Chains A and B, each alone.
Chain A
Amino acid sequence: MYLDEALIVELRKNNQLALKQLYKVNYPMILSLVMNNSGTEQEAKDIYQEAIIHFYEKLQHAEFVLTCKIKTYLYAVGRKLWLQKLAQRSKFVRIEEVEPVAGLEDVATEIEARESTFQAMEGALGKLGEPCKTILEDFYLRSLTMDQITEKFGYTNAGNAKNQKYKCLQRLKKIFFEERAR
Chain B
Amino acid sequence: MSMNPRELEQLENYFNQTLAADERAALENRMSGDAEFRRAAEEHFDFLKSLQEYSIQKQLRENLDQIHEEMLTSEVEREEPSRGWLKTLWPSIAVAASVALVSTLATYFTLRYYDNEHQTQYQIVSRKVQKIEKSLDKLKNSNNKKPEVAPGNYSGSGFLVSANGYIVTSYHVIKSADSVFVENDKFGRLKTTLVYGNASSDVAVLLINDDSFKRPVTVPFSVRASEGSIGEPVYTLGYPREEIVYGEGSISAASGFEQNENAYQISIPVNPGNSGGPMIDQQGAVVGIINGVQTSVRGTAFAIKSEVLLNELKNIPADSLSKPLRLNNQSQLYGLSRVNQIKKLKDFVFIVKVYNSK
Picked from B50, B51, B54, B64, the residue with its CB within 8 Å of the CB of A49 is B64
A140 touches B217 (CB 8 A): no
Which chain B residue lies CB-closest to A136? B51
Chain B residues positioned under 8 Å from A118 (CB to CB): 53-54, 57-58
Tell me which residues from 1 to 42 in chain A have a Cβ below 8 Å from any Cβ of chain B: 16, 19-20, 23-24, 27, 41-42
Which chain B residue lies CB-closest to A46? B217
Give the interface segment out of B1-9, B88-96, B112-120, B240-248.
B1-9
A177 touches B47 (CB 8 A): yes
Known: A41-B217, A166-B8. A114 touches B53 (CB 8 A): yes
Which chain B residue lies CB-closest to A121? B54
- Give the secondary structure class of B's interface: helix
Which chain A residue lies CB-closest to B58? A141
Which chain A residue lies CB-closest to B61? A49
A1-B333 Cα distance, complex, nearest whole Å: 29
A42 touches B217 (CB 8 A): yes
Count residues of chain A with CB under 8 A from any CB of chain B.
32
A173-B46 Cα distance, complex, nearest whole Å: 10
B143 located at the interface, meaning its Cβ lies under 8 Å from any Cβ of chain A in the complex? no
A144 located at the interface, meaning its Cβ lies under 8 Å from any Cβ of chain B in the complex? no
A52 touches B64 (CB 8 A): yes
B59 located at the interface, meaning its Cβ lies under 8 Å from any Cβ of chain A in the complex? yes
Picked from A53, A169, A170, the residue with its CB within 8 Å of the CB of B61 is A53
Q: Could you name 16 residue pairs across A and B whose Cβ atoms are closer than 8 Å? A: A19-B63, A19-B64, A20-B70, A49-B64, A53-B57, A114-B53, A114-B57, A118-B53, A118-B54, A140-B55, A141-B59, A170-B3, A172-B51, A176-B50, A177-B43, A177-B47
Q: Which residues of A come within 8 Å of B, CB atoms? A: 16, 19-20, 23-24, 27, 41-42, 45, 49, 52-53, 56-57, 114, 117-118, 120-122, 140-141, 162-163, 166-167, 169-170, 172-173, 176-177
Apart from A49-B61, A53-B60: 5 A-B pairs, beta carbons within 8 A: A45-B68, A45-B217, A141-B58, A141-B59, A166-B8
